[in-house]
Structure 1
Amino acid sequence: MPVEPRHITIERRVRFAVLEPHERPVTEIWFALHGYHQLAHRFLRYFQPIHQGARCIVTPEGLHRHYIDGKSRRVGASWMTSEDRLTDIEDYVGYLDRLHAHVLAEESRQTSGGSAPPRIVGLGFSQGVHTLCRWLAFGRARIDRAILWGSTVPPDLDLSEHGDTLSAANLHLVVGDEDEYFDRAAIEAHEARLRAAGIAFTSHTYPGGHRLDAGTLRRLAEPEEMG
């Protein structure tokens, strides 16, 4: 008899890390999605340069943890693999929607009435870029600005169907000029694909490789950039 994979839905706990705002009411919440082999609390350290004022920064952790190598037993996480990928996508989109609602509800409880809703920024780094794009396409959460850092919009994402959603998210593309995974040809092909689909975006580069750059992050977080 053929083996038939099946699924059930379970309750499980998920992990995320937060840099709480220095001031309230919160005016801006960042949801920063890490790359492959990273963990939420370690990834959060890269956002210390923009942790100021009424900005809250949240780093969700991918649902799949693994050992990075056998000797040190260092642990990392990822958002998905090619195995059972559609189920994983559905699971992490639902998880991110629930986390978004949880964080906004917590902030609302700590703030007196009458405050304007906070601006929501989504940042994906490396593997987190595909996760962020699919969250935008398939999720229900409001995201006012999307920063795609060090990767591309997923090749299998139908831009004729989801292009308007990406454009509405005030899309910003960021890549290092020496990124070992994302060379000039890949950048140009990615941008050409977005233009062909009529998707508006702003491009940013910085000196360096496949990493978050503190100076670029500060510039992206400046009020004039956020407008």
Structure 2
Amino acid sequence: MNSTEKEISYNITNTYSTLNVLTAKTKNVWFVCHGIDYLSRYFLKYFKDLNPAENYIIAPQASSKHYLGTNYKHVGASWLTKENTVTEIENVMRNFDAVFEAEQIPKNVNLIVLGYSQGVSVALRYVAKRQLQCSHLVIMSGGIPNELTANDFKFLKAKVYFVFGNQDEYINDERLLLEKHKVNILYGETAKIISFEGKHAVNTNFINKLGS
């Protein structure tokens, strides 16, 4: 079989979801990247208890969608796979560029970037590749991409948090030590490492405290 894989480029249209309204009273703008099998509009539920007058949440949507389970009823999405990863990362970066261009976030607010689970990889890559200055960077229950270096984050002045459940089924002792080491290498010892009682989950208590 004489097969050849070729590459094309074309424009696509995608959605993203927001919660609350951006006004002059807004103090915090959150850019939050969902985990695998989520849709952005459902990921927003973890931010519903934040003060709506002071917090505006932007949740980009992963474009690679799939059915969950065998009944073909519910739909989820993922950011990246091991297939054609370099090109797909660039597609995600352009997706995020378009969201930021559409939203025109004011300079006088706190920009909080949060990645959960698989969303950590795209959130951190975007901050690094676009040198996105933010006030807080939250790494929640996810892994840091191996290719990122301390030099990628030299510009960053954000407070960095690595948040994980102490019973996370995807983070064993060896993996935890590795991720803590990456945090220290990339962001220094000032980065805060926070564990909570629970499994692989979004920690709404942390979110509510950060946004208060």
User: What TM-score, normalized by structure 2, do the two folds share?
Assistant: 0.89
Measured in 2, the distance between the counterparts of 1:140 and 1:9 equals 25
Structure-1 separation of matches of 2:80 and 2:187: 29
- Percent identical pairs in the alignment equals 21
Q: Say which is worse superposed, 130-139 or 32-41, in terms of deviation.
A: 130-139
SS in 2 for 1:49: coil
Once the two structures are superposed, residues 33-64 of structure 1 have per-residue CA deviations (whole angstroms, 9 ceiling, x without a partner) of 00000001111111102242221101111010
Aligned partner of 2:183 among 194, 199, 202: 194
Please give the root-mean-square deviation of Cα atoms over the aligned residues, in Å.
2.2
Question: Alpha-carbon deviation of 1:122?
Answer: 0.7
DSSP-derived class of the 2:121 partner: helix
Find the counterpart in structure 1 of residue 197 from structure 2: 207
The residue type equivalent to 1:153 in the other structure is I
Equivalent residue number for residue 101 of structure 1:
101
Three-state SS of the structure 2 residue aligned to 1:10 is coil
Deviation, 1:161, is 3.4
CA distance in 2, matches of 1:197, 1:19: 31
Equivalence map 1:12-91=2 (5 Å): 12-21=12-21, 24-91=24-91
Deviations 1:130-165 (A, max 9, x none): 11111112125443321010012112x231432425
**Which sections of structure 2, spanning at least 5 residues, go unmatched?**
none
Aligned residue for 2:48, secondary structure, equals helix
TM-score normalised per structure 1: 0.83
Query: After superposition, where does 1:210-225 map in structure 2 within 5 Å?
Result: 210-222=200-212
Cα distance change of structure 1 residues 194 and 2 upon mapping to structure 2, 3 Å threshold: farther
Is the 8 Å Cα contact of residues 30 and 121 (structure 1) preserved in structure 2?
yes
When structure 1 is superposed on structure 2, of 39-48 and 205-214 the one drifting more is 205-214
1:128 to 97, 119, 125: 119
Q: Which residue of structure 2 lines up, in the alignment, with residue 178 of structure 1?
A: 167
CA contact (8 A) 2:32 2:57 kept: yes
> CA separation of 1:54/1:23 partners in 2, compared to 1, >3 Å: closer, same or farther?
farther
Residue 33 to residue 180, structure 1, CA distance change in 2 (3 Å): same
Instruction: Sort the Cα spacing of 1:71 and 1:9 in 2 relative to 1 into closer, same or farther, 3 A.
Output: same
How far does residue 73 in structure 1 lie from its aligned partner after superposition? Answer: 2.8
- Pair 1:54–1:198, CA change in 2 (3 A): closer
CA drift of 1:194 comes to 3.1
Kindly state the Cα deviation for residue 185 of structure 1 after the two structures are TM-superposed.
3.2
Check conservation: 1:152, 1:190, Cα contact below 8 A.
yes
Q: Does residue 129 of structure 2 align to residue 138 of structure 1?
A: yes
Letter of the 2:151 counterpart: E
Tell whether the 8 Å contact from 1:32 to 1:60 is kept in structure 2 after alignment.
yes
State the AA in 2 paired with 1:161.
Answer: N
Q: Which range is displaced more, 143-152 or 118-127?
A: 143-152
- The answer for unaligned runs of 5 or more in structure 1 is 109-115, 223-227
